[in-house]
Amino acid sequence: MAIQFAHQPGLIVYLTIGDPDLATSKKIALAAIDAGVDVLELGVPFSDPLADGPVIQRASERAVRNGTRLTDVLALARELRTERPHVGLVIFSYLNPLLRMGLEAFAKAAQSAGVDAVLVTDMIAEESQEYRAIMKNHHLQTIFLVAPTSPDERLARIAEVAEGFIYAISRVGITGTQQQVAGDARDLVTRMRRYTNLPIALGFGISNAAHVGAVAEFADAAVVGSAIVALIEQSSPQQAPAAVGAFIAGLHASAIVEENVLS
- 48 among known catalytic residues: no
User: d(Cα 141, Cα 163) in Å, to the nearest integer?
Assistant: 5
Specify the 3-state DSSP secondary structure of 177: coil
pLDDT above 70: percentage of residues in the chain: 90
Question: What is the distance, to the nearest Å, from the Cα of residue 15 to the centroid of all Cα atoms in its chain?
Answer: 8
Selected residue with higher pLDDT from 91 and 174: 91
Q: What is the pLDDT of residue 180?
A: 45
- Structure confidence at residue 99 as a pLDDT band (50, 70, 90): very high
Catalytic annotation, pick one of 41, 116, 258, 259: 41
Average pLDDT of every residue of the chain: 90
Least confident of 38-52, 85-99, 133-147: 38-52
pLDDT tens string 15-65 = 999 999 999 999 999 999 999 999 999 999 998 877 778 999 999 999 999
Q: What is the pLDDT of residue 253?
A: 66
User: d(Cα 114, Cα 112) in Å, to the nearest integer?
Assistant: 5
The three-point CA angle 167-125-64 to 5° equals 65
- 52 among known catalytic residues: yes
User: d(Cα 178, Cα 198) in Å, to the nearest integer?
Assistant: 26
Question: What is the distance, to the nearest Å, from the Cα of residue 157 to the centroid of all Cα atoms in its chain?
Answer: 21
Q: What is the pLDDT of residue 72?
A: 98
> Mean per-residue pLDDT for 173-199?
75
Q: What is the pLDDT of residue 254?
A: 54
In angstroms, what CA-CA distances link 9 with 3, 44, 136, 166, 169? 14, 26, 27, 14, 16
Q: Is residue 189 scored above 80 in pLDDT?
A: yes
Q: What is the pLDDT of residue 243?
A: 98
Q: Is residue 187 scored above 50 in pLDDT?
A: yes
Q: Which residues of 153-173 are buried (b: 16+ CB within 10 A; e: fewer)?
A: ebbebbbeebbbbbbbbbbee
Catalytic annotation, pick one of 19, 52, 72, 220: 52
- Structure confidence at residue 248 as a pLDDT band (50, 70, 90): very high
> Mean per-residue pLDDT for 166-171?
86
**Number of neighbours of residue 74 by Cβ within 10 angstroms:** 21
Spell out the domains of the chain, with CATH numbers in brackets: 10-262 (3.20.20.70)
Q: Which residues 6+ apart lie within 8 Å of 113 measured at CB? A: 74, 75, 77, 78, 81
Q: What is the pLDDT of residue 210?
A: 87
- Structure confidence at residue 3 as a pLDDT band (50, 70, 90): confident
Q: Is residue 257 scored above 60 in pLDDT?
A: no
